[in-house]
């Protein structure tokens, strides 16, 4: 509403100045063409001159009014420019934070993929055929279980950062990844128990 009023004030001030300028021009032309050959004509010319003096004073007032209206518009524009600049800086900062969070999520996803690939190599793809217990298998399962726990913890930390930063979509992504990792780790623990492998105490 204030924007519309300010623009209206500017238009009104400009229109008022233009109107007075036209009046001044008409009076000036009238005085220029007035004959000075009789008392009557001299009297009318004097009246026109007084009207020109009054119009000149009015022009000064209307010029000042227009300057004030322009100053008001300029101040409003500067405030808007400052707001735009502040929002632009905020946008840049928020974009950088979002990219940082997504990069962290991508790295966690890569870690999870690598761990799953190692799991496939370690136990094979046939879920109905449990692997043979060997020292190498025991060590591998413990390493994988520990690694998945670390990735899950990192995902939780990243999710908390995303929540604090106000990015719930990133938090949902990291929580989904964490749940997947935890589900796989639980399967590893179950497999370890089935094979009789002692569970390693978690730090």
94-194: what CATH class?
mainly alpha
Q: What integer best gives the mean pLDDT of the chain?
A: 89
Structure tokens at 200: 């390693």
Per-residue confidence (pLDDT) for residue 122, from 0 to 100: 80
pLDDT digits over 37-80, tens only?
999 999 999 999 999 999 999 999 999 999 999 999 999 999 99
- Whether 174 and 152 have beta carbons less than 8 Å apart is answered as no
If pLDDT is split at 50, 70 and 90, which confidence band does 196 have?
confident
More confident position, 201 or 172: 172
Per-residue confidence (pLDDT) for residue 125, from 0 to 100: 63
Per-residue confidence (pLDDT) for residue 202, from 0 to 100: 54
pLDDT digits over 125-138, tens only?
655 666 777 888 88
The answer to whether the predicted template modeling score (pTM) of the entire model surpasses 0.85 is: no
Residue entry with tokens 């900062």: 93
Query: What percent of the chain is predicted at pLDDT more than 70?
Result: 91
């Amino acid at each position: 509403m204030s924007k519309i009023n300010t623009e209206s004030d500017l238009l009104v001030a400009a229109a008022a100045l233009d109107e007075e300028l036209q009046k001044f021009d008409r009076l000036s032309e009238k005085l220029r063409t007035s004959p000075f050959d009789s008392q009557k004509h001299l009297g009318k010319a004097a009246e026109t001159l007084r009207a020109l003096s009054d119009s000149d004073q009015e022009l000064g007032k209307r010029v000042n009014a227009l300057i004030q209206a322009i100053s008001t518009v300029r101040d409003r524009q500067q405030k808007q420019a400052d707001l735009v600049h502040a929002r632009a800086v905020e946008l840049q900062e928020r974009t950088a934070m979002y990219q940082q969070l997504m990069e962290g999520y991508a790295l966690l996803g890569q870690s999870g993929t690598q761990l799953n690939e190692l799991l496939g190599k370690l136990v094979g793809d046939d879920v109905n055929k449990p692997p043979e217990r060997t020292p190498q298998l025991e060590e591998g399962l413990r390493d994988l279980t520990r690694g998945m726990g670390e990735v899950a913890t990192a995902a939780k930390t990243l999710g908390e950062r995303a929540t604090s930063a106000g990015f719930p979509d990133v938090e949902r992504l990291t929580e989904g990844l964490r749940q997947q990792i935890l589900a796989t780790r639980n399967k590893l623990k179950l497999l370890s128990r089935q094979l009789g492998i002692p569970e390693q105490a978690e730090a």
